[in-house]
Amino acid sequence: MTRIGRGVIGIAVAVGLAVGLGAEPPGAGAQGAPPIRVGFSSAMTGPSAITGEGVKWAAQMVADEYNAKGGIAGRRIELYFGDNAGTPGEAVSAVRKLVDVDKVDVIIGQTHSGACLGALPVVKELQVPMVIEACSHPKIREQIGKNGNEWAFRVNPDDVMLANQFAKYMVQQVKTVSIFAQNDDFGRGAAAAYDAAFKKVGIKLLSTEFFDRGQADYRPVLTRVKRAAPEGVLLVMLASEGSVFMRQYRELGLNQKLFARGSMGTVEFLYQVRDSPNIADGLVEATYWTPALDPAWEKQWMERWKVPVRIHGSLAAIAFRYAVAPAIEAAIKKTGKADRKAIRDALEEIDVPNTPVGRVKFDDTHQAFINMLLVQIDGGQLKVLEKIPIQP
C-alpha cells in the first residue's frame, strides 16, 4: 500500500481513537460518594435511529436536572449509552457492555420490542434491573415479574391494556373503522389489540393496512380506504410519518374521523405541519404523555435541542424521573446503597402517587399502570380531553 494510503488509514484510526476517547468522558472523579451509573439502551444506529436520539437527549436533560441539585440523595448521576440498533442480537451486546464494561447500576430501555425480548434473559442472567420505557409487545408482560424475570420492569402500557378503553371511546362516534399502522412491532401489536377490542364494543373493522416507516407515499392505500369508506380511521404512527400522511390524506379529500396511537397528538407533529396547523383538527389520540403534563419540559427541550419534543425522549424521561429516580432514592434511604439489587428491590416497593403521569407502582408482574390520556388536536393546539386510569 502506498504511503498516502497508509497515512490515511493511520489518520482515520487516530481520529477514531480521539473521538472515541473524547466522546465518552470517563467517570469524573467523584468527590465523596460514588456516582450512580444509569445506562440507556436504544436504537442509536439503523433505521430507527431517530428513537435512540430522542432517548439520549432526554437522558442527558434529566441527568443534568438531577445533577444540578447535587444528584439523587447526594449521589451524582453518570450516564452510559448502549446501541441495540433495534434488533435482539445487538440488544444482547448493548446490555452486556453496559453491565460488564460500564458497570451500570440500572438500565432503562430498549424502546423496540425485538430488542426488549432479546435483552430480557440477559438482564436476568447478569442480575441488573431494567426498566422498559416503550416496548409494546404483549409477550413482555407474560415474561416479567412473577412470570419469570424478577429483574425487568415496565412503565409503559401496551395496546392490549389501552385498546379496550380507547375502543369504548371510539364507538361513541363511529361504527366502522380502518386501521393504518406502521409495519413494526408497535404497529402490528396495536392492530391486533384493536382488532380484538373493536369486536368487543361492536365496531366493524373494515381494513387494516401496514406501511413501512420511511416510505412516504401513502396515496395508493389512501385510495383503498376512500373506497372502503369507513366512518373513522385509526392511525398507528409517529409524528415523522404522520405529518406527510396527513398532507396526502387532505390531498385526497378524505374526511373520516381521526383517531391515533403513536405520536400524532404531539408538539412534534404540529411542528412538522406548522405550514398548515389545522390539517389534523379533530384528531384524538390515546397516549400517556402530553406536554400539558409538564410544560417546562417542552420548552427546555426546544431550547436545548432546537427541535420539538420527541415522544421516545419523553417516554424515557418518564421511566427515569418517575420510576428509577424514586427507586434510587428509596434504595439509598433504606440501605444506604444504590447497587443493582437494592435498586431492584426498591423498584418492587415504590409507590409514587402523584406524578404527572399518574400513580407509579409496579404490580407483581412488574407492570406499572399510569394514566391513559385522550389528547385532541383542536385549532392547531393540543387539548387534554380525558384522563382515564388504566385498570390492571
Partner 1 sequence: MIDLVEQLVHGLTLGSLYAMVATGLALMFGVVRLINFAHGEFYMLGGYAFWYAYAELGLPYPVAGLAAVAAMGLFGLAYERAVIRTILPRTWHVQLIATLATSITLTNLAILVFGTQPKEVPTRLSAAILDVGGIRLAWQRVVVLVAAVAIFAGLEWFVGHTKLGKAMRAMSQNREACAVVGVDVQHVALATFGLSAALAAAAAALVSPLFNIFPDVGALLTLKAFAAVIVGGFGFVKGAIAAAFLIGLAESLAAGYVSYAYKDAIAFVVMVAVLLVRPQGLFGRRIGI
Partner 2 sequence: MRAVRWAVLGAVLIALPWLVAAAFPGQQRYILHVLIFTALYGALALSFDLVVGHVGSLSLAHPAFFGVGAYGLALLATEARWPFTAALAAGLVLAGLAAVVVGVPMFRLTEHSFAMGTLGLALVTQIVATNWVDFTRGPLCVTGIPKPQIGVLRIATLSGFYWMGLTTLALVALLYHGLTTFRLGRAFHAVRDNETLASSAAIDPLRYRMLAFTIAGALAGGIGALYVSYVGVLCPGELTVSLSVNLLVMIFLGGVGSLRGVVVGAAAFTALPEVLRMAPTWRMVIYGLLLLVIVIRAPDGLEGLLQRRGARGRRPAGA
The distance of closest approach from Cβ of residue 353 to partner 2 in the complex, given in angstroms and rounded to an integer, is 34
Does 287 help bind partner 2 (rule: CB under 8 A)? Answer: no
The distance of closest approach from Cβ of residue 113 to partner 2 in the complex, given in angstroms and rounded to an integer, is 7
Tell me the three cell numbers of residue 375: 389528547
Residue 227, number of CB atoms within 10 A of its CB: 9
Query: Cα torsion for 238, 240, 246, 247, to the nearest 10°?
Result: -170
- 228 touches, from partner 1, partner 2, none (C-beta below 5 to 8 Å by class): none
Residue 181 phi, psi (nearest 5): -135, 145
The distance of closest approach from Cβ of residue 380 to partner 1 in the complex, given in angstroms and rounded to an integer, is 15
Query: What does each C-alpha distance from 63 to 22, 29, 81, 190 come to in angstroms?
Result: 19, 17, 13, 32
Total residues at interface with partner 2 (CB under 8 A): 50
Does 20 help bind partner 2 (rule: CB under 8 A)? Answer: yes
Q: Which of 205, 208, 198, 188 is nearest to 139 (CA)?
A: 188
The distance of closest approach from Cβ of residue 179 to partner 2 in the complex, given in angstroms and rounded to an integer, is 14
Amino acid 241 reads E
The distance of closest approach from Cβ of residue 47 to partner 2 in the complex, given in angstroms and rounded to an integer, is 8
- DSSP 8-state symbol, 74: T
Tell me the three cell numbers of residue 202: 361492536
Separation between Cα atoms, residue 215 and residue 218, nearest integer Å = 8
Pairing mode of beta strands 176-182, 130-132: unpaired
Separation between Cα atoms, residue 108 and residue 316, nearest integer Å = 7
Q: Which is nearer to partner 1, 181 or 343 (CB)?
A: 181
The distance of closest approach from Cβ of residue 173 to partner 1 in the complex, given in angstroms and rounded to an integer, is 25
Among 50, 65, 96, 359, binds partner 2 (CB under 8 A): 96
- 86 touches, from partner 1, partner 2, none (C-beta below 5 to 8 Å by class): partner 2
User: Contact positions toward partner 1, by CB under 8 A?
Assistant: 47, 49-50, 53, 183, 209-212, 214-217, 219-221, 223-224, 226-227, 240, 243-244, 247-248, 251-253, 272-273, 275-276, 307, 310
The distance of closest approach from Cβ of residue 127 to partner 2 in the complex, given in angstroms and rounded to an integer, is 11
Q: Which residues in the 185-214 window bind partner 2 by CB under 8 A?
A: 185, 187-189, 210, 212
Amino acid 386 reads E
Among 9, 216, 228, 229, binds partner 2 (CB under 8 A): 9
Among 44, 162, 332, 372, binds partner 2 (CB under 8 A): 44
Residue 234, number of CB atoms within 10 A of its CB: 29
Q: ∠ CA(52), CA(53), CA(54), 5° rounding?
A: 90
Tell me the three cell numbers of residue 261: 396511537
- DSSP 8-state symbol, 97: I
Among 30, 34, 64, 101, binds partner 2 (CB under 8 A): 101
- Contact between 46 and 91 under an 8 Å Cβ cutoff? The reply is no
The distance of closest approach from Cβ of residue 116 to partner 2 in the complex, given in angstroms and rounded to an integer, is 9
Separation between Cα atoms, residue 105 and residue 120, nearest integer Å = 16
Q: Which is nearer to partner 1, 261 or 310 (CB)?
A: 310
The distance of closest approach from Cβ of residue 250 to partner 2 in the complex, given in angstroms and rounded to an integer, is 28
- Contact between 110 and 40 under an 8 Å Cβ cutoff? The reply is no
Build a one-symbol-per-residue string for 152-191: x at contacts with partner 2 by CB under 8 A, - elsewhere: -------------------------------xxx-xxx--
Q: Which of 152, 147, 111 is nearest to 129 (CA)?
A: 152
Q: Select the span of 18-26, 165-173, 272-280, 348-356 touching partner 2 (CB under 8 A).
A: 18-26
Query: Residues interacting with partner 2, by CB under 8 A?
Result: 1-2, 4-5, 8-9, 12-13, 15-17, 19-21, 23-24, 44-47, 49, 83, 86-89, 92-93, 96-97, 99-101, 103, 113-114, 117-118, 121, 126, 137, 139, 183-185, 187-189, 210, 212
